[in-house]
């Protein structure tokens, strides 16, 4: 047996330290490699650290509240590197799930409409029996392989008491009486500081354009069932919007910059962040790296994965780093337009409003006609220090053009 020091692992290119929140084990506990043993907070996300070794934790080298540098020792583990390979419990769990799936395969009528990940027939059958909607099922954290919800996950969820629907807590009955003091949590404090800082650093200017989304809507309706059958998830409008933005950035690369006065840094990669509203009311922005190099199908899979893990607090720190441009799909809340605040050190952010059916003038060779079209307002906020109205306006118009000229015949 040997005593080894486990070090704080790397958590992304821009993260050099983190704050210790809580040990998930005690000194003297036996752990396996990848068991979650420590919860930490970075300036981007709270996350859990897994053990690097099989063995016994003999001593904590950091305590809750300590700030630990990346690469610094955090605990001592007594380990025997010559020990036999242990059974992988995750694989066992997955095999059990596959057996349960096979048993239930032929007797499950539950619809999978609205799902962003695969659910076994057994899990869907339990959901149907307990009247759990797909939206509620999507909010359950999965411990199976690739984040799948297992039988134990859904039964534990029912045992602990079902949660309210996502965001339901933000709508509540007003009760007259004394004022209530609510302490901001750490994430809300961080959001507050960053938003104030961004408005102080960057003079915000906004441009708007109304876009005809009819081609996009028709294409999505045409391929959504095919996409679900092929990939086991739904295709939302968000990956299509990201696709249009990434294409526009390639045409206007000076929107993909950062400012370090007196220098402007023209970024070599197109990494698009997407704002995700969390059930607790906070906001987080996972980043899709090299978005311009992905197909629509790849973007849809990535968007579903990041959004799901964001809502379940399962993101990795490096999945929140290195964004070069950000979008916010505020249409999901029924908003027609908005003026979002820039994510520093980026210089622009785009918001997409809800898609509405509207009467519109349609130009044809035979003359103008009135028809029903799917319309959406795009809002573009940009840093007037380095982005003038011409570039800001041309860029949002380019995104609009990409959506209006969407190829309705392309395959998924």
Q: What is the DSSP letter of 150?
A: P
**Beta strand spans in 93-238 (E):** 204-212
Q: Are 210 and 217 in contact (CB under 8 A)?
A: no
Q: Hey, which of 38-47, 88-97, 256-265, 360-369 has the most confident mean pLDDT?
A: 256-265
Asked if residue 233 belongs to a domain, the reply is: yes
The tens digit of pLDDT for each residue in 258-285 reads 999 999 999 999 999 999 988 777 889 9
| Residue 384 annotated as catalytic | yes
The tens digit of pLDDT for each residue in 211-248 reads 999 999 999 999 998 998 888 888 999 999 999 999 99
Asked if residue 409 belongs to a domain, the reply is: no
- Alpha helices of 139-274 — where are they, by DSSP H? 151-160, 186-201, 214-231, 238-251
Asked if residue 169 belongs to a domain, the reply is: no
Of 141, 160, 179, at which residue does a domain stop? 160
Q: Which residue has the higher pLDDT, 174 or 214?
A: 214
Asked if residue 312 belongs to a domain, the reply is: yes
Q: For residues 272 and 327, what is the distance between their CA atoms, to the nearest angstrom?
A: 7
Asked if residue 274 and residue 152 are part of one domain, the reply reads no
CA distances (Å), origin 35, targets 6, 52, 88, 90, 313: 13, 8, 11, 11, 17
DSSP character string of 309-369: HHHTT---GGGGS--SEEEE-GGGGT-S---PPP-TT-SEEEEE---EEEEEEEEETTEEE
Number of domains in the chain: 3
* Residue 133 belongs to domain spanning: 89-160
Domain of residue 12, CATH code:
2.40.50.100
Q: Which range is least confidently modeled, 35-44, 116-125, 303-312? A: 116-125
Asked if residue 320 and residue 246 are part of one domain, the reply reads yes
Asked if residue 165 belongs to a domain, the reply is: no
**pTM metric for this prediction:** 0.67
Confidence of residue 48 (pLDDT cuts 50, 70, 90): confident
Q: For residues 161 and 163, what is the distance between their CA atoms, to the nearest angstrom?
A: 7
Q: Are 101 and 121 in contact (CB under 8 A)?
A: yes
Of 115, 142, 160, at which residue does a domain stop? 160
Asked if residue 349 and residue 319 are part of one domain, the reply reads yes
Domain of residue 271, CATH code:
3.30.559.10
Asked if residue 360 belongs to a domain, the reply is: yes
Residue with tokens 């987080």: 284
For residue 89, pLDDT beyond 60: no
Confidence of residue 12 (pLDDT cuts 50, 70, 90): low
Asked if residue 370 and residue 321 are part of one domain, the reply reads yes
Q: Tell me which residue of 348, 330, 351 sits closest to 249, measured CA to CA.
A: 348
Q: Are 32 and 18 in contact (CB under 8 A)?
A: no
Of 21, 45, 79, at which residue does a domain stop? 79
Structure tokens at 332: 């999901």
Asked if residue 205 and residue 96 are part of one domain, the reply reads no
Helix pair angle (389-404, 238-251), 10° resolution: 130
Q: For residues 224 and 53, what is the distance between their CA atoms, to the nearest angstrom?
A: 44
Structure tokens at 380: 């573009």
* φ and ψ of 65, to 5 deg: 100, -20
Give the SS3 label for residue 234: coil
The pLDDT > 70 percentage for the chain reads 86
Confidence of residue 31 (pLDDT cuts 50, 70, 90): very high
Cα 167 from chain centroid (whole Å): 16
Q: Are 77 and 60 in contact (CB under 8 A)?
A: no
Q: Are 274 and 329 in contact (CB under 8 A)?
A: yes
Give the SS3 label for residue 385: coil
Q: For residues 403 and 397, what is the distance between their CA atoms, to the nearest angstrom?
A: 10
Asked if residue 12 and residue 136 are part of one domain, the reply reads no
Q: Is the dihedral of CA 227, 137, 333, 383 positive or negative?
A: negative
Asked if residue 171 belongs to a domain, the reply is: no
CB atoms within 10 A of CB 173: 4
Asked if residue 242 and residue 121 are part of one domain, the reply reads no
Asked if residue 381 and residue 252 are part of one domain, the reply reads yes
Confidence of residue 163 (pLDDT cuts 50, 70, 90): low
Q: List Cβ neighbours of 123 (8 Å cut-off, separation of 6 or more).
A: 137, 149, 150, 151, 153, 154
Q: Which residue has the higher pLDDT, 187 or 100?
A: 187
Confidence of residue 167 (pLDDT cuts 50, 70, 90): low
Confidence of residue 186 (pLDDT cuts 50, 70, 90): confident
Asked if residue 398 belongs to a domain, the reply is: yes
CA distances (Å), origin 34, targets 37, 49, 50, 88, 131: 9, 8, 4, 11, 35
Asked if residue 144 and residue 65 are part of one domain, the reply reads no
The tens digit of pLDDT for each residue in 287-339 reads 999 999 999 999 999 999 999 888 888 888 889 999 999 999 999 888 999 99
Asked if residue 115 and residue 194 are part of one domain, the reply reads no
Q: For residues 221 and 138, what is the distance between their CA atoms, to the nearest angstrom?
A: 21
Asked if residue 114 and residue 75 are part of one domain, the reply reads no
Confidence of residue 46 (pLDDT cuts 50, 70, 90): confident
Asked if residue 257 and residue 377 are part of one domain, the reply reads yes
Structure tokens at 323: 């964004």
CB atoms within 10 A of CB 18: 26
């Amino acid at each position: 047996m040997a005593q080894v020091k486990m070090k704080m692992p790397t958590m992304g290119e821009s993260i050099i330290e983190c704050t210790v929140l809580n040990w998930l084990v005690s000194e003297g506990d036996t752990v396996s490699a990848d068991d979650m043993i420590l919860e930490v907070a970075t300036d981007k996300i709270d996350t859990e650290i897994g053990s690097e070794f099989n063995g016994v934790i003999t001593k904590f080298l950091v305590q809750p509240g300590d700030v630990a540098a990346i690469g610094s020792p955090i605990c001592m583990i007594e380990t025997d590197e010559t020990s036999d390979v242990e059974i992988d419990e995750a694989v066992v769990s997955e095999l059990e799930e596959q057996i349960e799936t096979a048993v239930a395969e032929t007797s499950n009528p539950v619809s999978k409409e609205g799902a962003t990940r695969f659910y076994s027939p057994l899990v869907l059958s339990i959901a149907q029996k307990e009247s759990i909607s797909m939206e509620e099922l999507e909010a359950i954290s999965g411990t199976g392989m690739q984040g799948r919800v297992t039988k134990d996950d859904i039964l534990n969820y029912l045992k602990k008491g079902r949660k309210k629907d996502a965001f339901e807590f933000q709508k509540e009955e007003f009760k007259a009486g004394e004022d209530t003091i609510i302490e901001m949590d750490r994430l809300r404090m961080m959001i507050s500081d960053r938003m104030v800082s961004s408005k102080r650093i960057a003079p915000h200017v906004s441009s708007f354009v109304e876009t005809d989304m009819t081609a996009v809507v028709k294409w999505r309706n045409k391929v959504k069932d095919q996409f679900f059958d092929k990939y086991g998830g739904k295709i939302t409008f968000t990956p299509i919007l990201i696709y249009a933005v990434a294409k526009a950035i390639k045409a206007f690369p000076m929107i993909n910059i950062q400012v370090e006065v007196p220098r402007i840094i023209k970024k070599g990669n197109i990494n698009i962040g997407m704002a995700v509203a969390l059930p607790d009311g906070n906001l987080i922005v996972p980043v899709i790296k090299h978005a311009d190099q992905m197909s629509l199908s790849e973007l849809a899979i990535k968007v579903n994965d990041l959004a799901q893990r964001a809502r379940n607090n399962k993101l990795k720190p490096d999945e929140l780093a290195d964004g070069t441009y950000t979008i916010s799909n505020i249409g999901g809340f029924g908003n027609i337009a908005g003026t979002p605040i820039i994510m520093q050190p980026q210089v622009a952010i785009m918001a997409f409003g809800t898609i509405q059916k509207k009467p519109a003038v349609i130009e044809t060779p035979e003359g103008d006609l009135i028809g029903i079209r799917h319309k959406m307002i795009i809002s573009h906020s940009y840093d007037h220090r380095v982005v003038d109205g011409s570039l800001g306006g041309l860029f949002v118009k380019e995104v609009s053009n990409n959506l209006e000229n969407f190829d309705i015949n392309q395959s998924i």
